[in-house]
Structure 1
C-alpha cells in the first residue's frame, strides 16, 4: 500500500484500488462498509497518509478502522469533511 502527502489523495487512491480489486462493481453502484486510514509522521516531520475501503466491516487491512456503514459510504462517494476526518 502506498502513502500519500494528503488525505484526499489517499482517499482517491483507496477508491481506485477498491474499484480495481472489485472489477464487477462500478463507482456508482459500489457499496462499501468500512473505511480505514492511517496518518504517519516521518522522521523529517513530513506527514503521509494511507487509506482503504472494504465491502465488509470484518475485513482487516493495513490501516486503522475509522468509519463503517453509511459514514464509510459517504467518504467513498466524496461527501466528507477532511477536517473532521483529521480530528478522528
Structure 2
C-alpha cells in the first residue's frame, strides 16, 4: 500500500490522498483545542491532564506539573493559557 492511499493519510476515510503543503501550518479551525489541568494523584503527587487524553508524569511539585502541561498545550495547541489546579496547594 502506498503512502498516498494509506487510510491514515486520507481525508475523512474517503480514500482521496491528502495534499498538504508541509511548510504551511495547519489551519487553526481544524486543530483540536487542548485544555490542560493539574490534578492530584494519590496523596502526594500531581499530574497534568489534557482534554485530548494526554497525561503528564506524576510530579511532587505543582509548578513542575503545571509547566509540563503548559509545554504540552503550547506544543500541540500553539497557545499558552494559565493551567488551573484541581485541589492543588
Normalised to the residue count of structure 2, the TM-score between the two structures is 0.29
Give the number of the structure whose residues are more often strand, by fraction. Answer: 1
Q: Comparing both chains, which one has the higher relative contact order based on Cα–Cα distances under 8 Å and sequence gaps of 6 or more?
A: 1
Indicate the structure (1 or 2) with the bigger Cα radius of gyration.
2
Normalised to the residue count of structure 1, the TM-score between the two structures is 0.30
